[in-house]
Amino acid sequence: MLGPAGGKVAMAGFHKLVGFVIVAGWGVLFLWGLGLFIAKRDAGRLYWGLLAGLQAVLGLQIVAGIVLLALGDRRPVLHYLYGSVLPAIVLAVCHVFTRSLQKGPYHLFFTWGAFFIFGLTARALMTGLGIG
């Protein structure tokens, strides 16, 4: 069993790894949606499944960040904005706008949202790693 210091190190490693996965995932979702839009095709189950998975992993990442914050790990304020607050706002806007669509492409707002979340989470990763 890990002690408090070991648990913090393990959680920080997990948070870092998942950070890279999140950035890559949102980038893939954006490129996929862009390809669908260019090809004038509707998004299928895999696209929507990836979107759902990325939202869940983002939520898990936010929980891991809160745990690290509770354990005394501090990052610049922009890290928290880029990594949790702003992506949550973007996702909420995407959900609201997509529900208001009368016809497709239904993935359009989530594709553009993925573009912004890709950039925001990349900046969160950079500020968290101390390189931006």
Q: What is the pLDDT of residues 72-108, one digit of tens each?
A: 999 999 999 999 999 999 999 999 999 998 888 999 9
Q: What is the pTM of this model?
A: 0.92
Letter string b/e over residues 18-52, b meaning 16 or more CB atoms within 10 A of that residue's CB: bbeebbebbbebbebbeebeeeeeebeeebeebbe
Residue 129, pLDDT > 90, answer yes
Domain count for the chain: 1
Q: What is the pLDDT of residues 45-67, one digit of tens each?
A: 999 999 999 999 999 999 999 99
Residue 16, pLDDT > 90, answer yes
Residue 2, pLDDT > 70, answer no
Q: Residue 131: is it exposed, middle or buried by C-beta count within 10 angstroms (0-12/13-18/19+)?
A: exposed
Write down the pLDDT at residue 132.
73
Q: Domain range spanning residue 89?
A: 4-129
